[in-house]
Structures are given as C-alpha cells and as structure tokens.
A and B are shown apart, each in its own frame.
Chain A
C-alpha cells in the first residue's frame, strides 16, 4: 500500500471514529441519524469504494 493511501485511510479512520463518538454522545435521534449518514460516506471512502 503506498504511503499516501495509508495516510489518507488513517485520516478517514480518525474522522470516522469521531463520528461514532458523536453518535453515542448526541441524545437526539435525528442528530444521530445525520451523523450515521455522514458516517456511511466516510466508511465508503475508508474502504476505497470509488
């Protein structure tokens, strides 16, 4: 795996973990659903679906 791709994946992983953190911190279901939708896109990027 090229270094740049590894670096990119680490950034996306870091942001994904933050989003998961938000999911559990936020109390309103709508906020959680919003975070989940953004998380979907991040996961797709993480697994390099492009």
Chain B
C-alpha cells in the first residue's frame, strides 16, 4: 500500500511540478543578474552613447555598454573616466555613478563609462560566496548595485587558453584573457574582452581624449594600494595631484606604470594613444583573501575583524582598524584624486583644462555617505 502511494506515478508528477517551479523561480532570479541597475543622470548630461557607436562589432553583445557624455560650455580638454573595469571593485562603479548623477561640465568634455566590462557584471566570482548585490543606503531607502566578477562572463567568452598572449605581446595565465585590464590595446577581431578594450581605444582616438582615469580597488594585502599609478606621459600631472592630495590629508602614493607590464590601461592608453593615463586604487576588503564572510555590509561598511587583526600583525599595506574602510571613504578618495588631477591638468596644460561643477566634495561624501548624493531608488 505504502509502495503504491509513494512509489508510483503520483510522486513522479509531483517531482515534475516541483522541478518546473524550482526552475522557474531560480531561473527568474538568475536572469536578474543580466539586468543593469538604472542610473539617473543629472541635468548636466549631454548624451548617452554606446561603446558600439565607436566600434560597431560590439553591438548586441554583452560587451556593449553605456558612455555618458557631458559637454562643457567652454572649449577645453577631453576627460575619460572608467568605472567597473573590474566589477568586483565597487568604488569605481559608485564613483562613476555619483559623477553621472551630479556633475555639469563647465569647460571641456567628460566621458564616463560606469560599467566598462558590462559582461563582468552579469556573473559573480565562483567559490567566493559573494552577494549578488550590495545596498547603498540613501535618504529614501537602499539603492542596489550589482557586485560582479573581475573577469568577463565565461558564457560570453569561453574557453580560456592555457596561456594568454595579450595584444601587447605579454604572456599571462589563461583566464587573464577575460580581464579587461590585461587586454589593451585590444584586437578588432579578437575575443570579446579584447574587442571591449579595442572599442575603448577607439573612443580615446575618435574623441581625442587627453586624460584617461581608470578607477579600481585592491585588496589591503596588495602592495599597489591607495595609489596613483601613472604612465610616464602623466608623471608631472600625477606628482602635482599627489601634492594636492597629501595637503588635504590623504595618505596616497605614486606608482610608475611598469614599462614591461603590458596590456594594462595605464600602460597602453599612454603607449598606443599618447594620452595622459592614470589608474587609481583604493583599499577594498570585500575582494581580499583574508576577509571573513562576504556580505553587502562588508562592501559598504568595509568592517572586517580579520583584516583588522591582519593590520595589527603588520601584514597589510594600509592601516585597517576595527572601524573598517567604508565605501564612502573609498569613493571620496576617487573623487578627491580626480579633482586633484583636473587641478593639475589645468596647471600643466591650460588649453586642455576640464572644469567640472557640482561634483560632490570628497569631504562631504565621507561625512554624509555616498547615498546622500545618489538619486533615490526607483
């Protein structure tokens, strides 16, 4: 009797129904990773373009992404800001969104790509247990942002080679083929990540960019941290910006872009396009190896007892107290560095000056939090 009830067609049908329900709900949840959160540009926005406008083969691929353009009233230089080259380094994305939602260009033109590797935002790093999103508190409630992966989604680019020889000739481990910041200057007929890099190079060439700034974060145990990494075309610019930042009380250092480390934005933008190229690093515990449980709070508040202990043991390259290094501070550092770089640019090359109005002041972002300057969630 029991066998008849539990061992026949009825449980099989029930299993099928449960399978369908499980497939439907998990599939629906999974698909939301492909949906980019809305960005609400401020009054100063001139146009939204796509990266494929500069390199059409990127159209209708997961590598295509939005380019926000702010044209200044007066003539000046052209600035490119990249966030989300590595989608697991959230301060770059958040600083870019903060700029898009607040600024006006007074002099020169500003191009902002908040999700440089859009495909990397559609998945998470395997075996990390990262949350799909992190929540930034705003006065009207939490605003969600995707926490993606350092690399392009393997669904969009697979398989990886055993050894990757990038377009600049550097030999790297195979999975670096999906790391946008190893694929410059890109290949027009290469892998998707190389095409994204090529499209960004095309934007730089076609829009005659003068200064490119790539916003990153690094783990506190990584030596290149709280740093301005500069190409030799921008050594004077970076040095002036450093003085300004140190005068404001920021602990920051200069790192010259290694000549033999090829394929990175700060190297190839300068070598290939001759522009001033800078990469900024802030400390982010959420993608470090010593962290505890990954969570949205770890991304936003940056508090981690294991990093605090590692700091006490002298294992880190930045001081890391119990109070953590919150997203507000990391974003503020990016904004302060950008402002300092623009000040230095105006001094070095007044004809290429870029003047931005209504950029949230770094000190205020630090005090009031990132959410105070973000559009309310929709």
- Measuring CB to CB, which residues of chain A are less than 8 angstroms from any residue of chain B? 20, 23-24, 26-29, 32-33, 35-37, 39-40, 43-44, 47, 49-50
Contact = CB atoms under 8 A, between A and B. Distances in A.
Main secondary structure of the interface of B (DSSP, over half): helix
Contacts of B26: 40, 44, 49
A50 B15 contact: no
Given A32-B15, A40-B19, A40-B26, 11 more contacts: A26-B12, A27-B7, A29-B6, A33-B15, A40-B22, A43-B19, A43-B20, A49-B26, A49-B27, A49-B31, A50-B155
Interface string B1-19: 0010011110110011011
B30 interface: yes
Contacts of A40: 19, 22-23, 26
Nearest to A49: B27
Contacts of A43: 19-20, 23, 27
A46 B357 CA distance: 51
Contacts of B3: 27
29 contacts: A20-B16, A23-B12, A23-B15, A23-B16, A26-B12, A27-B3, A28-B7, A29-B7, A32-B12, A32-B15, A35-B15, A36-B15, A36-B16, A36-B18, A36-B19, A37-B19, A39-B16, A39-B19, A40-B19, A40-B22, A40-B23, A40-B26, A43-B23, A43-B27, A44-B23, A44-B26, A47-B27, A49-B26, A50-B155
Contacts of A44: 23, 26-27, 30
A40 B23 CA distance: 5
A26 B236 CA distance: 74
Contacts of B9: 24
Contacts of A36: 15-16, 18-19
A35 B15 CA distance: 9
